[in-house]
Amino acid sequence: MYDLIIVGAGPAGIFTALELLRKSCNPHKILLIEKGKPVEKRHCPKDKTGVCVNCKPT
């Protein structure tokens, strides 16, 4: 059983989980579901283009 289920590990999902863990007195059991690449393998296109293109990291 989980206290919170977050669908989507984009910036909003990741930071929601992180802030909940940082600011909570009691540890919460969180399930973070993502169908895309692992966070460690995502890269911002800005690294190659030099400008933000407002897209989902590939």
Query: What is residue 56's predicted lDDT score, i.e. its pLDDT?
Result: 58
Using a cut of 0.95, tell me whether the model's pTM lies above it: no
pLDDT digits (tens, 9 = 90+) for 4-57: 999 998 888 988 998 998 988 887 899 999 988 887 787 777 888 888 877 654
CA angle 31/20/56 to nearest 5° reads 65
Q: Are 53 and 34 in contact (CB under 8 A)?
A: no
